[in-house]
Amino acid sequence: MNIRMCLASFGLAATVASATIPAQAQTADIDKLIAAAKAEGSVVAYWMSARIANAGAGFAAKYGIKVLGTKMTDAESTEKVVREVESGNVQVDIIGYDDGPRLITEMIPGKYVENYVPPGLKDAIPEASRNPLIYLWQVSIFGYNTERYDKCPITNVWQLTEPKWAGKLHMFDPRLRSMQIQAFSAMEDRADELAASYEKFYGKPLKLTQANAGLEFIKRLAASRPVLYNEDVELAANVGARGQSDPPIGIYTLGRHREIKEKNLALGMCRLEPFQGINQPTYIQIVAGAPHPNAAKLFAHYLLTQEGVSPWTKDVGAYSSNPTLSANPDNPYPNVSAWGNSLLVSDNAHVAKRRQDLLDLWIANNR
């Protein structure tokens, strides 16, 4: 299937609006939903994270409704959802999905999934995070080895394109992880900042061989031949392993810092110009023709509460899309909006237009 890709635009700052639905009506609605969900008895979930098991256990303890959760990549869940819906034999009720471009351009328009925002929580979720519904933001950062370096050995992302760092950046493979292409798209959107940052750091204007500084950065980064990964568990471990005389820098989810004590890693966060990481949303969608639609809706509601999202937000770098909820107190910033412009966030229209060209540019120069 030819599935086009793009990513929704979403704002990071939000103001919680005052409730427009009377509290009594909200309570009645949720009580009805709970009763209907309990009558269905279970909910089947395909998820991008193994922590669906922990969230499911909490949901079952609270409501007595079993969650049959399976970790899948977006590609795997897409294939299964499309096949199930088209055959009229739907087994799954709800998905947790990272690939916003595919979701927006194929899964929702093709009526494979349906967007659902719990009515009682609608006013708490920023409007830009409602359609499609984001339940989680996860931050990826540039990290370094704190045993070898007292502070991050670079201060500007352009340094990663210097000969000194050739082969010493560890990152996600753009051919395998859509998040990395989305980051490239955001770099092109912020080309002027990249150009200004280069000139400020090196004291001379950037000489372009591409149409803009964003593309120039991607080309040079590809040519420096970073070490590529599909998952970041090993990536972060290789950056933070002790006893290295010349350790790499890596781009990985900040949540990997939870393993510092467990694995005896030496990891720290770089604060770079003009950006210091990537902000990745995860979406919730109800599958069209779900056999347990009410249980799925109640589970969506649960994941937007403190209890429901805690399997993720208990670690640093993960934030609920519901800004009324708390995050790990060890986070560098207390909420996702406080990261401001320091994180790359891509635009849906730009990714849709530029995805293949950005990938082609990477492949052509990463040889």
> Residue written as tokens 């670079």?
154
Tokens of 41: 């008895």
Helix or strand run (H / E) with residue 353 = helix 348-365
Length of the chain: 367
Tell me the Cα Rg of the chain.
Answer: 21
Q: What percent of the chain stands above pLDDT 90?
A: 83
Mean pLDDT of 351-359: 90
Longest Cα–Cα distance of the chain, Å, equals 68
**Could you give the CA distance from residue 51 to residue 42 in angstroms, rounded to a whole number?**
18
Domain spanning 139-279+355-365 has what CATH number? 3.40.190.10
Average pLDDT for the chain: 91
Q: Where are the beta strands (DSSP E) in the chain?
A: 42-47, 66-71, 94-97, 113-114, 134-145, 169-172, 227-229, 249-253, 267-269, 277-287, 318-320, 343-344
> Tell me, what amino acid is at 262?
E
Domain 23-137+280-340 has CATH 3.40.190.10: yes
pLDDT, tens digit (0-9, with 9 covering 90-100), for 131-152: 999 999 999 999 999 999 999 9
Per-residue pLDDT for 356 more than 50?
A: yes
Looking at residue 347, its pLDDT comes to 80
Domain residue limits, the chain: 23-137+280-340, 139-279+355-365
Per-residue pLDDT for 155 more than 80?
A: yes
Q: What crossing angle do the helices spanning 213-223 and 178-189 adopt, rounded to 10°?
A: 140
Same fold: 23-137+280-340 with 139-279+355-365: yes
β-bridge pairing 113-114 and 134-145: unpaired
Looking at residue 348, its pLDDT comes to 73
For residue 309, which of 298, 294, 325, 297 has the smallest C-alpha distance? 325
Angle at CA 342, nearest 5°, toward 340 and 343? 95
